[in-house]
Structure 1
Amino acid sequence: MNTHDLLIELGTEELPPKSLSTLSTSFSASIESQLKESELAFTSVKGLNSPRRLAVIVENLQAEQSDKEVEKRGPAVQVAFDEQGMPTKAALGWARGNGISIEEAGRLKTDKGEWLLHKALEKGKPVTSLLPEMIEKAIKQLPIARPMRWGNSNHSFIRPVHQLTILYAGQVVEGSIMGISSSNKVTGHRFHHPELVAIKSASSYIEQMAEAHVLVDFEQRKATIREQIEELAEQEGASPIMDEDLLDEVTALVEWPVAHVASFDDSFLQVPKEALIYTMKDDQRYFPLQTDKGELLPRFIFISNIESKDPEQVIQGNQKVVRPRLADAEFFFTTDQKKPLHQRVEKLHSILFQKQLGTLGDKAERLSLLAGAIASELNDDVNAATRAGLLSKADLVTDMVMEFPEVQGVMGMHYARLNGESELVAEAIEAHYHPRFAGDSLPQSTVGCAVALADKLDTLAGIFGIGQTPKGDRDPFALRRAAIGMLRILVEKKLPLDLTTLVEKAIHGYGDKIKATDNLVEQIVDFLLGRFRALYQEQGVEVDVVQAVLARRPTVAYDFDNRVQAVSRFRQRDEAIALAAANKRVGNILAKADNIASQVDPELLKEDAEKALYKTLSDVTNEVHVATENGDYDKALALLAGLRADVDEFFDKVMVNDDDKAVRENRLALLKQLREQFLNIADISLLQ
């Protein structure tokens, strides 16, 4: 089989950095998928990119499709010939279309009848003839929300396109995309290599681009940036604040990364470090430096897209740019301190939370009461929770947060400390937004948990109360995230709080703004419990395990988790499959019966198998009950697993529907007791 390497490159103006990786992955995945659909063999497909290009290299790509025999079925024989045995127009047209005579047609016999058949050898197409259409399709499939047009062209793309390269076996493949003809000429670095680069082959592409000061491999660029940052930080005796999202964005901004260390005035360090870090990272794409103890240093690392002959000029330029931004943060911080947080609560009444639910001021007052009530249930500091709830949103009207929204909560914590609030209150103000995303940290204190739960509960109760529940992908108030955040706090902090009680308290806080119906409480609790599926899916817990627990609807989240973990472990036992099947069988039998007795009469037990099951069940019932009441579901299920042999024997030897009514009803009572022991934990009949 003849194979060669393929290079595709689309040369553009600067692509949006936050979209670069997605575009590159989509482009290469589409090319790979189409090659497979065309039955063209290859060794590998690699997506490459830089701010000004999307590229794909396919190694050892088959030169042409293999010839293959195809069967082309014609009309049914009874339709293909008339009563005199002469071919009909339908048959003649089909034969003519296949380039054969009727006499050359074969026959296909099946159970459903007989048809004309032509077996043809379909010649494989050369890959070069297929590529332009594949590329055009791949471009159309790119996730581009807002394509743009440029010049006098009617073509549209995320950014103007200037070059197209399709090289196979080192030769240019003829083709035109968006009015641009393919060539082997690509752009180098805008400053270091402004002239076009003539690419020799796919295998030389990466090396030739590096010579033109362009690293086209995203991961190589990223690794280079990381290495440079870590090396410079070590020289400074510091640690870089370097998260993956920022690293990815910077990697998507440069073609030839060069790291430098710059500094800013020490006086700015009086501003809380979170505001300075946000300014440097989000506004300037810089990497701040800190000590091993987490103290911010007046230095940062930035990545340049040019290897300057005078790097000091580049450094000074960046220091000049960042200074006004840091000065803004300093000004906002100083100005904000003129009014304490508690005096800002009143201004929250001028900011709408939701038109039917009132203002942020109303919300703060509800949070104060609800957080205090939750803290009371947890036997913690009610006054601190009440105060933190009231002040939790006050920093939203500070100049700092209005300018830098990402530091909400954090600035509230700092201002609370400066205002003389207790450390418990200050920390709870910052913590009440947590967890903000999957894997985020949880509030450390119980007071912080109380305020965080109150905030999420209040939003859930209010939005559900006015009927704006999430539908499909629409969730403007992020209720799913709030629900998962609540569950994480309750489970991971082992808080013995009942969801129904919490929801009722939250609804009560709205007064007559929403209708506090039983159905509303149930609807919100079911929504919360439903989020367990997503939570456990991330942890790799089987869906049937979650469904088995959901069927019993335990409304204490920590207890729900204990049951899931126990059932998940039980599912691995040898007895689980047989007992799950038995429970399903018992459930079906009981569903058809009415008025089943709650007690078993030992005198009516006739068969040895039912006597043995009754005795074994009676022996463990009390111990299972105690274990279940104590939340020791592992022990309870282990005890019930010991019933397997007797359960199997019962169904092998005992006829439940005995002719004697009293015996039949007694056996149903025995099965009911058996079923209830499991149902006190989960419905294991749902285990697959």
Structure 2
Amino acid sequence: MSKHTVLFELGCEELPPKSLKNLRDALKTETVKGLNDAGLAFDSVEAYAAPRRLALKIINVDGAQADTQKRFDGPAVQAAYDSEGKPTKALEGFMRGQGITVDQVSTFQAGKVEKVCYLKDVKGQSLDALLPQILQHALDNLPIAKRMRSAASRTEFVRPVKWVVLLKDDQIINATIQDHQAGNVTYGHRFHAPEAITLNTANDYLDALRKAHVIADFEERQAIIDQQVKALADEVNATAIVPSDLRDEVTALVEWPVALRASFEERFLAVPQEALITTMQDNQKYFCLVDSNNKLQPYFITVSNIESKDPTQIIEGNEKVVRPRLSDAEFFFLQDQKQPLASRKEKLANMVFQAELGTLWDKSTRIAKLAVALSPITGANAADAEKAALLAKCDLTSELVGEFPELQGIAGTYYARLEGENHEVSEALGEQYLPKFAGDVLPQTKTGTTIALADRLDTLVGIFGIGQAPTGSKDPFALRRSAIGILRLVTENDLDVSIEQLIDLALGAYGDVIKDHDKTRADAVAFLEGRYRAKYEDQGVAVDVIQAVQALSPKSPVDFDKRVNAVNHFRDLSEAAALAAANKRVANILAKEATPTGDVVEANLVEDAEKALYAEIKAVKPVIEPLLAAKDYTAALSQLAALRAPIDAFFDNVMVMADDAELKANRLRLLAQIRALFTSIADISVLQH
């Protein structure tokens, strides 16, 4: 069968830069699916994307589908022919329906019954006939939130389509896609090479566009940007801040990247660098530069889409544009300093946190009370914690946070430093919001840990207290994320406290504001315990490991964490599968039989295997008891792994349900001891292998 290289290009007005990469990947995925569904084999598909085009190159694709046979089933042979072997009415009806004669009838075995059938030869369709439908279907299925129609066309796309290229080697495939007749004409850079470019073959695409100042390959364009940005940063001994989203967006904005370094006045460096970086990244799509201490430098890098004869004009133009934005940030920063943080509580008293739970100042006073109560647990200085809590929300009323909401907490830290607050208090104002997302860093100060914990507990308990717990996908106060933050703050700081204690402390800060403390406590505790699974699944821990620990309902997050880590380690031991199975067997036996009270009677151990098992249990108990007391569950489970051989031997050689009532009772006590040893750590009977 003939093989071909196909080029498809959809030329558009500038595509949305934040979506370009996704559109490219989705177009490739949908086309690959369409080719596979059509039975067209190919070696590979290369996908390209630039601001004004999406393109695919399909390498070594079949020129047509393979010819196939389609089977049409008829009646059973027994019903198809009479005693003389002539067609019955049933067979005649089948032949008439298929338009065939008796000599075209075949038979096949369907289970125990032989049936008649017609095997029809189906000629495979050509690539030329199939590909336009596959590509149009792929375009129709792209993840586009809002589609548009342009001019008189009724077809829709994310931007107006200007041209379509569809080449099979050097031949144009006759097709209409997105209401445009396919051809072999593309267009280069809008300014450097706007003339039409005729492609002779599908393989000419990348080189022809490169000559016309368009790098169609997204990754190649990105690599050029990376290289240019690094070179410009190195020239001033700096490092560029290159967030992946911004990097993708800038790559999607240019066809011919030319990076240029510009500068701004050093006086702006007195402004919180987060504000400067935010405005330069979000509004101008610039890459900011920092030194080895992560301190902002008075430079930025912009990526132009043209190779200018006079780049200084582009540089000066960007400097002119960015100056007012930096001046605004400077103005807000200086204005805010005219009013001390503490004096902003009056404005907080007019800002509602939640209608039933009061204002942001009410919340601040509760957090302060809770922070003092938490200080003995977190090791924070109570006075620092109280002060930080009362200042924590004050920067929400500042001009800087009004302009840059993402600076909440960060602005407070800067203002607190300027007002001479100590390190613990100042840093806590920014750290109160950590962790912001899964995997984010935690507060580095004890005061920051205390405020972060108090803030989340206050919101969680308050919202549960007024009966507005998250339901389904609705979680307006982000309590699910908050709960995982609480668990991380407790476990990763090794805080010796139970979930119920934390909830009680938060309830104490609310007092009479929450009417039903008992219900709130029960609901909030259940909610936090219910987040263990999400927390550990995010870390890659298997569900059965989490369930093995949940079966014991440990009260402390730190204790839960240590047990999960121990079971996770145990799961990889060679003895784990056999011991999990044995524990399941033990659990099933004990569930059906009432375990007799009292200790194992050594005199009633008659079989060698049960004597050996009892001896092992007696030997291992004094070893693991101090390990359990020290919460060293990993070492304890490793010790219990030694019971595998005697447990296996016991089940192979001993009849638990003996006829003798004394022997049976003694053996059940022995199994209960095994069960108790393992469930002092986790219920490993639920582990799946």
TM-score by length of structure 1 reads 0.94
* Inter-partner Cα distance in structure 1 for 2:335 and 2:136: 56
Q: Secondary structure at the match of 1:69?
A: strand
Count of residues in correspondence between the two structures:
688
1:341 corresponds to: 341
Residues 260-291 of structure 1: CA deviation (Å, up to 9, x unaligned): 11111222122111111111111111111222
CA shift, 1:205, in A, is 1.0
* Inter-partner Cα distance in structure 2 for 1:473 and 1:170: 53
Answering whether residue 17 of structure 2 is matched by residue 43 of structure 1, we say no
* Inter-partner Cα distance in structure 1 for 2:584 and 2:666: 19
1:687 corresponds to: 687
CA shift, 1:537, in A, is 3.6
Verify the 8 A CA contact 2:10 2:55 in the aligned structure 1: yes
Residue identity opposite 1:453 in structure 2? L
Residue identity opposite 1:571 in structure 2? R
Residue identity opposite 2:288 in structure 1? P
2:414 corresponds to: 414
Residue identity opposite 2:625 in structure 1? H
Distance 1:37 1:423, change over 3 A: same
Distance 1:215 1:675, change over 3 A: same
More divergent stretch after superposition (456-465 vs 78-87): 78-87
Stretches of structure 1 lacking an aligned partner (at least 5 in a row): none
Answering whether residue 367 of structure 2 is matched by residue 367 of structure 1, we say yes
1:573 corresponds to: 573
Residue identity opposite 1:332 in structure 2? F
1:388 corresponds to: 388
1:55 corresponds to: 55
Answering whether residue 641 of structure 2 is matched by residue 641 of structure 1, we say yes
* Inter-partner Cα distance in structure 2 for 1:467 and 1:136: 50
2:192 corresponds to: 192
CA shift, 1:508, in A, is 4.3
Please show how residues 351-500 of structure 1 align to structure 2 within 5 Å. 351-500=351-500
Verify the 8 A CA contact 2:378 2:449 in the aligned structure 1: no
More divergent stretch after superposition (412-421 vs 554-563): 554-563
* Inter-partner Cα distance in structure 2 for 1:651 and 1:443: 52
Verify the 8 A CA contact 1:597 1:666 in the aligned structure 2: no
Residue identity opposite 2:337 in structure 1? Q
CA shift, 1:580, in A, is 0.7
Verify the 8 A CA contact 1:81 1:87 in the aligned structure 2: yes
Residue identity opposite 1:264 in structure 2? F
More divergent stretch after superposition (80-89 vs 425-434): 80-89
CA shift, 1:199, in A, is 2.4
CA shift, 1:251, in A, is 0.8
Stretches of structure 2 lacking an aligned partner (at least 5 in a row): none
Answering whether residue 608 of structure 2 is matched by residue 608 of structure 1, we say yes
Distance 1:82 1:388, change over 3 A: farther
Verify the 8 A CA contact 1:656 1:668 in the aligned structure 2: yes
Verify the 8 A CA contact 2:465 2:517 in the aligned structure 1: no
* Inter-partner Cα distance in structure 1 for 2:468 and 2:149: 38
CA shift, 1:488, in A, is 2.8
Q: Secondary structure at the match of 1:27?
A: helix
* Inter-partner Cα distance in structure 2 for 1:520 and 1:65: 65
Verify the 8 A CA contact 1:229 1:301 in the aligned structure 2: yes
Residues 72-111 of structure 1: CA deviation (Å, up to 9, x unaligned): 3234557767999986777556434544234522223333
More divergent stretch after superposition (574-583 vs 70-79): 70-79
TM-score by length of structure 2 reads 0.94
1:107 corresponds to: 107
Answering whether residue 654 of structure 2 is matched by residue 654 of structure 1, we say yes
Answering whether residue 297 of structure 2 is matched by residue 290 of structure 1, we say no
* Inter-partner Cα distance in structure 2 for 1:596 and 1:390: 59
1:590 corresponds to: 590
Answering whether residue 14 of structure 2 is matched by residue 14 of structure 1, we say yes
1:313 corresponds to: 313
2:150 corresponds to: 150
CA shift, 1:226, in A, is 0.9
Verify the 8 A CA contact 2:380 2:450 in the aligned structure 1: no
Residues 158-206 of structure 1: CA deviation (Å, up to 9, x unaligned): 2222222221122221222221121122232111112222223332211
Verify the 8 A CA contact 1:188 1:213 in the aligned structure 2: yes
* Inter-partner Cα distance in structure 2 for 1:78 and 1:175: 51
CA shift, 1:431, in A, is 0.8
* Inter-partner Cα distance in structure 1 for 2:90 and 2:198: 56
* Inter-partner Cα distance in structure 2 for 1:27 and 1:595: 64
Residue identity opposite 2:480 in structure 1? R
1:249 corresponds to: 249
More divergent stretch after superposition (312-321 vs 183-192): 183-192
Residue identity opposite 1:382 in structure 2? A
CA shift, 1:26, in A, is 0.8
CA shift, 1:146, in A, is 1.8
Distance 1:180 1:641, change over 3 A: same
Residue identity opposite 2:601 in structure 1? D
Residue identity opposite 1:299 in structure 2? Y
Q: Secondary structure at the match of 2:289?
A: strand
CA shift, 1:4, in A, is 1.3
Q: Secondary structure at the match of 2:174?
A: coil
Distance 1:53 1:480, change over 3 A: farther
Q: Secondary structure at the match of 1:643?
A: helix
2:632 corresponds to: 632
2:264 corresponds to: 264
* Inter-partner Cα distance in structure 1 for 2:262 and 2:282: 17
Distance 1:332 1:380, change over 3 A: same
Distance 1:361 1:96, change over 3 A: farther
Distance 1:503 1:164, change over 3 A: farther
Verify the 8 A CA contact 2:239 2:290 in the aligned structure 1: yes
* Inter-partner Cα distance in structure 1 for 2:445 and 2:46: 48
CA shift, 1:36, in A, is 1.4
Residues 20-52 of structure 1: CA deviation (Å, up to 9, x unaligned): 111111111110111112221111112210111
Residues 583-628 of structure 1: CA deviation (Å, up to 9, x unaligned): 0000001111235425323333333322222222122213212211
2:30 corresponds to: 30
Residues 420-447 of structure 1: CA deviation (Å, up to 9, x unaligned): 3222111011011112223322110122
More divergent stretch after superposition (277-286 vs 611-620): 611-620
Residues 372-424 of structure 1: CA deviation (Å, up to 9, x unaligned): 22222223211212222222222112111111111111101111112232221
Distance 1:289 1:156, change over 3 A: same
Please show how residues 266-281 of structure 1 align to structure 2 within 5 Å. 266-281=266-281
Verify the 8 A CA contact 1:598 1:673 in the aligned structure 2: no
Distance 1:514 1:192, change over 3 A: farther
More divergent stretch after superposition (205-214 vs 143-152): 143-152
Residue identity opposite 1:647 in structure 2? I
Answering whether residue 123 of structure 2 is matched by residue 132 of structure 1, we say no
Verify the 8 A CA contact 1:413 1:429 in the aligned structure 2: yes
* Inter-partner Cα distance in structure 1 for 2:313 and 2:349: 49
Distance 1:419 1:664, change over 3 A: same
More divergent stretch after superposition (407-416 vs 171-180): 171-180
CA shift, 1:228, in A, is 0.5
More divergent stretch after superposition (239-248 vs 324-333): 239-248
Distance 1:534 1:45, change over 3 A: farther
More divergent stretch after superposition (472-481 vs 313-322): 472-481
Q: Secondary structure at the match of 1:553?
A: coil
CA shift, 1:465, in A, is 3.9
2:502 corresponds to: 502
Verify the 8 A CA contact 1:216 1:255 in the aligned structure 2: yes
Residue identity opposite 2:457 in structure 1? L
Answering whether residue 213 of structure 2 is matched by residue 227 of structure 1, we say no
Residues 209-233 of structure 1: CA deviation (Å, up to 9, x unaligned): 1111111111111111111111011
Name the Cα RMSD after superposition: 2.4
Residue identity opposite 1:291 in structure 2? D
